[in-house]
Structure 1
Amino acid sequence: MDMARRPLLPLLSFTAVLAAAATAAILPAAAGRPVQMGMGGGGVKVEWDYSDGPKGPAHWGELHPSFKQCGVGKQQSPIDIPAWKQRQARGNSTMNDILAMPPSLTLVPHEGRINMATTCATFGRCGSLRWDDHTYFFTNLHFHQASEHRRGGDTLAMEAHLVMATHEAHPADGKAGGAAAKDEPRLAVVGVFLELGQANAVLDEVLDGLEAGTEVPVGDLWDNLLVPDSGYCAWRGSLTTPPCTEGVQWLMQTEPVRASRAQLARFAVDIHEGSDGVNRPVQPINNRDIQRHRPPHRYE
């Protein structure tokens, strides 16, 4: 998960984390992969990339003190989701039970094309998530090709991230709208695996709008990206880009959806921009609890 509004760090304001996640600036490619600009403590811009070089994932934790979690964190993302480590949660529920998404919404392309991020046109009106006594609101949709997370060792064609936040960020002052100063914004990410198959209507809508640099009216989200009666897995993780902040609630939809070969080809150009990819390697699970939520009266 990346490119989104995220929880606070002691050394980072919420606005700084948002700026780092959004990757507003993309520099010339290094070792075949785009160079990213992240925000360190105090608003300092720090270059990082996805290469095997000194600014790549293996060295993110060394690039700035506020990126330390990238190297020493114990709940880092992405992960390989193994069937043997999943624990069946008490009770059954579906994506429809935790998500409330409108039949249509309008997204706005984010500055910079990397990962093809779009943000909600109006915070609080593009859908919400209810989890662990907290309400999160949709803020950001972006994609990774191939998938960042793995499923039982397998990498899928692509992965969509719906980023949800408890509060809106105000870039001018870094404060959380509608919340007491003591409240820290919480972050959750709904992940969706995409596999090769028939064309996906939502992807066409998103691609058309993003490539034109215009607002993206998205409809039929439930039918083409989210699966209402799908189960899901839940665990605690982190951002998948610097500063690799931990404490992010991850919810991965169990049932994948499909994308056509032509759509994947378009994303390969729009996401990677001719590079070798923008995916952080999977991280150790350590002792994390991965809960599996199954739909009632259904076996997956």
Structure 2
Amino acid sequence: MHLSMSLALAALASLSLAAPARESRRETSEYNCLADVIIARGIEMKELEVRLPFERRASWSYEGETGVSHWGDFGTTCLTGKYQSPINFEGEELATEKKPNLEWSNYANKFEFLNNGHTVQLQLKQSSPSLLTHEIDGIDYTVQQVHFHSPSEHHVEEKYFPLEAHFVHASADSKLNVIGLFFEIGPQDNPWISQFIDNIPTKTNATTTVASLDMTSIIASIADSHFFSYTGSLTTPPCTEGVLWLVAKEPLKISQAQLDKFTKVMPFNSRTTQSNGTGKNLTTLAASVAPVAAATKTGVIVSSAHSIFASSVVALAAMFLL
């Protein structure tokens, strides 16, 4: 058992050591998809020595020498945190009756999409005249931005989905809430997703602006959804904890053509699942065996289907850690 766990963790570490050259462009100094919200709202982060935009401190990526097993270099909580995200949902253990009651109001004339090198996101700051809001546990949240990960970061019964959307919310007192939505392949284009896919900036740090945006269809799509809920973290450095997650159980549909358009720009931008609440941090464990993986990487099986391999490794590691 110990040998199996060691091999699994060594393989996880090798994800960062055996990365393909195509991902070098990902090592951008652009801000991550959630840390910018925290910094913009003045939320204290112990892992930051000074209150500076995260992009001025370091760059990180999903693969290579700045990949997942090295994220402790960019946020110590990535290494030391005990309540990290994303996670794998098993059964009904984390099922909740909570539902986000999203409301879309004060439509703006223009909307901006940003390719920050880590994801593609819709910018919806609280100062914007357009507001996507909801209330949960007596706290009012306003959506700051919407972004995407492929493959999905959260898993259900060890199954991942082709795409996951994150609606990042903040409250007036700087609490964070993220609504996660899964997408699976269907026969037709998803009209709501088309608004994003058709306006993806293809270059890092580039933006595109659209005159209008319809959020009512996605609100209607999840009106009857059931949700998982747990307290976790940002899924990108600095991996800050205390984030309330609501993740819809039922996946929505997108077409293969839509997914292909996204992955052409963002081939892989997903963190491996974490052992939230077990007291064991998988990034720490992976980093600890990285030298072993480097020395023996010719004997470690590394799948070209990077997302599938990452999911399998973490699932195997977690099985031996519990």
> What does residue 172 of structure 1 align with?
none
CA contact (8 A) 2:84 2:274 kept: yes
Q: Which has the higher helix share?
A: 2
> What does residue 113 of structure 2 align with?
109
> What does residue 194 of structure 2 align with?
204
Given candidates 273, 286, 290, the residue that maps to 2:277 is 286
1:82 is the counterpart of 2:112: no
In the alignment, the residues of structure 2 paired with residue 13 and residue 226 of structure 1 have an alpha-carbon distance, to the nearest angstrom, of 42
- List runs of 5+ in structure 1 lacking aligned partners: 21-38, 168-182, 289-300
The alpha carbon displacement at 1:55 in A equals 2.0
Within-5 A mapping of 1:40-189: 44-51=56-63, 53-61=64-72, 63-64=73-74, 67-86=75-94, 89=96, 92-95=97-100, 98-102=101-105, 107-110=111-114, 112=116, 114-120=118-124, 122-123=127-128, 125-167=130-172, 183=173, 185-189=174-178
Sequence identity, in percent? 28
TM-score in terms of structure 1 length: 0.69
Query: CA 1:136 to 1:110, structure 2 compared with 1: closer, same or farther past 3 Å?
Result: same
1:234-256 CA-partner distances (Å, limit 9, x unpaired): 11010111100000110111221
Query: CA 1:80 to 1:247, structure 2 compared with 1: closer, same or farther past 3 Å?
Result: same
How many corresponding residue pairs? 234
In the alignment, the residues of structure 2 paired with residue 12 and residue 50 of structure 1 have an alpha-carbon distance, to the nearest angstrom, of 21
1:99-141 CA-partner distances (Å, limit 9, x unpaired): 2234966531225354111111653632112122221101101
The alpha carbon displacement at 1:216 in A equals 5.8
CA contact (8 A) 1:209 1:216 kept: no
Q: Which has the larger radius of gyration?
A: 2
Q: Which has the higher strand share?
A: 1
SS at match of 2:189: coil
Query: CA 1:58 to 1:114, structure 2 compared with 1: closer, same or farther past 3 Å?
Result: closer
Which letter does structure 1 place at the counterpart of 2:177? A
> What does residue 25 of structure 1 align with?
none
In the alignment, the residues of structure 1 paired with residue 144 and residue 223 of structure 2 have an alpha-carbon distance, to the nearest angstrom, of 20
In the alignment, the residues of structure 2 paired with residue 226 and residue 14 of structure 1 have an alpha-carbon distance, to the nearest angstrom, of 42
> What does residue 45 of structure 2 align with?
9
The alpha carbon displacement at 1:224 in A equals 7.4
CA contact (8 A) 2:229 2:247 kept: yes
CA contact (8 A) 2:167 2:179 kept: yes
TM-score in terms of structure 2 length: 0.65
Which letter does structure 1 place at the counterpart of 2:103? A
- List runs of 5+ in structure 2 lacking aligned partners: 1-31, 202-206, 280-322
